[in-house]
Amino acid sequence: EAGVAQSPRYKIIEKRQSVAFWCNPISGHATLYWYQQILGQGPKLLIQFQNNGVVDDSQLPKDRFSAERLKGVDSTLKIQPAKLEDSAVYLCASSPIPRTGTGVNTEAFFGQGTRLTVV
C-alpha cells in the first residue's frame, strides 16, 4: 500500500517569497491533516480536511497561509509571504473516518514532510 506522498522534501526561500507544498494522501482516506513542526517541538495542527471540506483551521495563520483539497484527494498548502518564523517541517497526514461503535481506532499515517527554511 502506498503511503502519504509529499513534495518537495526540502525548500529554501527568502523571506517575503511564496512557497507551496503538495500532499497526496493514502487512497480512500477521507481525513487529511497539515501539521507544522518547529525544531524541538511537537507537531501543531494547521488545518484538517474531511473530504474536501475544512473541519478545523483554527491555528492556521490565514493572513499568509492557505490550503485547499481538490476533489477530496490531493492537497496543497501555500505560504505567501513567508516569514523567518515559518521555518519548520510541514507534515501531511491522512486517516480514514473513524467507525463509531466498532472500537476501531484510526491512526493517522504521515508523509516524510517538507523541510522549509526561510532565510
Partner 1 sequence: AQSVTQLDSHVSVSEGTPVLLRCNYSSSYSPSLFWYVQHPNKGLQLLLKYTSAATLVKGINGFEAEFKKSETSFHLTKPSAHMSDAAEYFCVVRPMFSGGYNKLIFGAGTRLAVHP
Give the binding site for partner 1 (CB under 8 A).
Answer: 4, 31, 33, 35, 41-45, 48, 50, 55-56, 91, 93, 95, 97-98, 100, 103-113, 115
When the beta carbons of 111 and 116 are compared against partner 1, the nearer one is: 111
22 or 109: CB nearest partner 1 = 109
Angle 64-54-25 from CA coordinates, rounded to 5° = 95
Closest distance to partner 1 from the beta carbon of 31 (Å): 5
**Contacts by residues 51-55 (CB-CB < 8 Å, ≥ 24 positions apart):** none
CB of 103 to partner 1, least distance (A): 5
DSSP state of 66: E
On the question of a cis peptide bond just before residue 25, with omega within 30 degrees of 0, the verdict is no
Cell representation of residue 29: 482516506
Beta carbon nearer to partner 1, 63 or 104: 104
